[in-house]
């Protein structure tokens, strides 16, 4: 495997910051080396410097997206941080019977587990009423995986048993050891590629927004800008959930804290 010099690594630190607003610490040097080495081989390049020149040439837009996909960390699982789903259940139950659709945005949806967890709760509470879930991520690779709704069975251990039976199909034969989210539920979830560090596309407004375990990758200024953009799409009275290790102290005064990691827009 090729080795990456400090100078080359600093270029990729700047690359991912410019592309996605992500601040990559020196501890990620081995990760960059490991994840990008195969791209050097694919293009028959001798060094990470040569690969960076390819990305900077303006002739390789698809390769730039591939590099962004490889350098963005995507870790998630079903029903992560259960208190947020208890809140979602209570909010959805309170919205039952209202004419307006109940809308939830998973703003860093990764491979889709968070979106489908949200959708299971909404389907349980609101049934065939008007509701929808939007998932977004900067990585095309994980969004393609998310749209399939197909996961290794071991990744689904946090799904409540009644939901497993109601909303999921266990694989048999060649698909044994996997699980597929039911098509009717998948159809209620849409996915879009969104860079939170740039002007947001027109997604509409939302009753609840999940932006969990994302801010840890941003510096202070970027956190403030990203949170301001995201909160601009939260309805008055809407709720905002972040990761338990995160805080909005010195980041935003647009929402009021109700509990650790849970906020409400006045």
Would you state the structure tokens that stand for residue 52, as one six-digit string?
């960076």
Annotated catalytic residue within 35, 141, 170, 188: 35
Separation of alpha carbons 115 and 203, rounded Å? 15
Q: How far, rounded to the nearest angstrom, does the alpha carbon of residue 242 sit from its chain's CA centroid? A: 12
Question: CA torsion angle for 257, 258, 262, 266 (degrees, to 10)?
Answer: -60
The helix (run of H) or strand (run of E) holding residue 71 is helix 61-71
User: Does 35 qualify as catalytic in the annotation?
Assistant: yes
Separation of alpha carbons 74 and 138, rounded Å? 10
Annotated catalytic residue within 69, 80, 137, 207: 137
Residue 17, Cβ density class (10 Å: 0-12 exposed, 13-18 middle, ≥19 buried): middle
Separation of alpha carbons 252 and 153, rounded Å? 39
The SS3 call for residue 149 is: coil
A 10 A CB-CB count for 126 gives: 18
Phi-psi region of 127 (alpha: psi -120 to 50; beta: other; left: phi over 0): left
Is residue 190 within 8 A of residue 133, CB to CB? The reply is yes
Cite the active site residues. 35, 137
């Amino acid at each position: 495997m090729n080795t990456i010099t400090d100078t080359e690594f600093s270029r990729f630190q700047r690359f991912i910051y410019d592309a996605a607003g992500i601040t990559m610490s020196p501890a990620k040097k081995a990760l960059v080396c490991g994840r990008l080495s195969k791209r050097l081989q694919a293009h028959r390049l001798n060094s990470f410097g040569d690969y960076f020149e390819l990305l900077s040439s303006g002739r390789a837009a698809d390769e730039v997206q591939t590099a962004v996909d490889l350098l963005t960390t995507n870790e998630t699982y079903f029903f992560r941080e259960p208190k947020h789903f208890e809140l979602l259940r209570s909010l959805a139950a309170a919205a039952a019977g209202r004419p307006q659709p109940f809308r939830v945005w998973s703003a860093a949806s990764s491979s889709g587990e968070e979106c489908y967890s949200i959708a299971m709760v909404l389907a349980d509470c609101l049934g065939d009423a008007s509701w929808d879930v939007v998932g977004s991520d900067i990585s095309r690779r994980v969004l393609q995986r998310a749209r399939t709704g197909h996961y290794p069975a071991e990744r689904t251990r946090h799904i409540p048993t009644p939901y497993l039976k109601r909303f999921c199909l266990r694989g048999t034969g060649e698909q044994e050891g996997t699980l597929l989210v039911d098509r009717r539920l998948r159809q209620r979830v849409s996915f879009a590629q969104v860079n939170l560090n740039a002007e947001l596309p027109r997604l509409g407004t939302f009753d609840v927004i999940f932006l969990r375990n994302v801010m840890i990758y941003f510096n202070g200024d970027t956190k403030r800008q990203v949170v301001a953009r995201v909160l601009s799409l939260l309805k008055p009275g809407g709720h905002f959930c972040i990761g338990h290790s995160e805080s909005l102290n010195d980041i935003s005064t647009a929402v009021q804290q109700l509990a650790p990691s849970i906020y409400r827009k006045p």
